């Protein structure tokens, strides 16, 4: 069982496109879900959509979330707070660029790595 | 009789036109992860050697077309590992494991 990946962007196009890139480059053996944009077709993120995406990408070994800016991060953190007790400690937000981090995280996850290793790999690109 | 601690070496010229860019790096890393041996990669015989199972490090080599890639592996499946890495590069990263390569 592999760690799942959730993409949270303000833009539905960026989130969907990032997931497409991961599927094409890494393959289908990592649970993947995305959310982004508001119901009117504009930009935005919201906690409910993030919770739904976490559910879709759920894996017992954990879920790593990649976010773009500001609200994507705070709403993801809020979504994690709202998870049931047995799931809350299995979801992390990665401090990594959304597209590059998603590819790196998924590559690591596809080999059966732990959630900690997946996050560490995604964050290898971040300036230290 | 194979010495299980012996280091296995191999080298191959990379003809793939984009070099070790994103997609080839992902395939190489994914393949490396299927072996239990440690596998290292370098773009020069004297190194520096990077962990072939680390996607960030493999991508960071930015090895262009016609680079000779050097592999070394140690562990119980080191021979198979080096053989598989070389085959992947020789075949232009065409048949990685488990990727949707319909392009």
Interface check B50 vs A, CB under 8 A: no
> Within chain B, which residues score under 50 in pLDDT?
96-103
Chain A residues whose beta carbon lies within 8 Å of the beta carbon of residue B103: 24
Q: Which residue range forms the structural domain that includes residue B63? A: 7-90
B2, part of any domain: no
Q: Specify which residues A65 forms β-bridges with.
A: A6, A93
Interface check A27 vs B, CB under 8 A: yes
B22-33 and B78-90 helices cross at what angle (nearest 10)? 160
Average confidence score pLDDT of chain A: 95
Question: Of the candidates A26, A23, A21, A106, which has an alpha carbon nearest to the alpha carbon of residue A65?
Answer: A106
Q: Which residue range forms the structural domain that includes residue A80? A: 4-125
**CATH at residue B68:** 3.30.1340.10
The model's pLDDT over A50-87, given as tens digits with 9 standing for 90+, comes to 999 999 999 999 999 999 999 999 999 999 999 999 99
- Count structural domains, chain B: 1
- 0.90 surpassed by complex ipTM: no
Tokens in use for B31? 């393949």
**CATH at residue A87:** 3.40.50.510
Residue-level pLDDT at A125: 77
B96, part of any domain: no
- Count structural domains, chain A: 1
The structure's pTM equals 0.86
The model's pLDDT over B28-43, given as tens digits with 9 standing for 90+, comes to 999 999 999 999 999 9
pLDDT confidence band for A11 (50 / 70 / 90): very high
B35, part of any domain: yes
> Considering CB atoms only, which of A23, A29, A107 is closest to B55?
A107
What is the spatial order of strands in the sheet that A32-36 belongs to? A32-36, A4-9, A63-67, A91-94
Q: Are β-strands B68-74 and A63-67 bridged in parallel, bridged antiparallel, or unpaired?
A: unpaired
Tokens in use for A53? 């995406």
Contact A107 B103 (CB under 8 A): no
The model's pLDDT over A14-51, given as tens digits with 9 standing for 90+, comes to 999 999 999 999 999 999 999 999 989 899 999 999 99
């Amino acid at each position: 069982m592999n760690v799942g990946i959730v993409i949270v962007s303000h833009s539905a196009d960026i989130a969907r496109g990032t997931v497409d890139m991961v599927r094409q480059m890494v393959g289908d053996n990592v649970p993947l879900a995305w959310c982004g944009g508001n119901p009117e077709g504009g930009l935005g993120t919201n906690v409910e959509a993030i919770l739904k995406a976490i559910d879709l990408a759920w894996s017992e070994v954990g879920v790593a979330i990649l976010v773009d800016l500001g609200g994507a991060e705070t709403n993801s953190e809020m979504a994690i707070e709202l998870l049931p007790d047995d799931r809350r400690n299995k979801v992390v937000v990665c401090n990594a660029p959304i597209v590059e981090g998603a590819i790196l995280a998924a590559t690591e996850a596809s080999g059966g790595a732990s959630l900690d290793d997946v996050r560490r790999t995604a964050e290898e690109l971040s300036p230290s | 009789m194979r010495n299980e601690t012996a280091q296995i070496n191999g080298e191959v010229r990379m003809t793939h036109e984009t070099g070790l860019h994103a997609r080839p790096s992902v395939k190489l890393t994914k393949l490396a992860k299927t072996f239990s041996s440690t596998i290292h990669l370098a773009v020069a015989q004297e190194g520096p050697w990077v962990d072939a199972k680390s996607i960030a490090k493999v991508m960071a080599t930015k090895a262009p077309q016609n680079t000779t890639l050097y592999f070394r592996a140690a562990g119980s499946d080191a021979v198979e590992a080096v053989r598989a890495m070389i085959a992947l590069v020789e075949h232009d990263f065409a048949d990685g494991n488990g990727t949707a390569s319909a392009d």
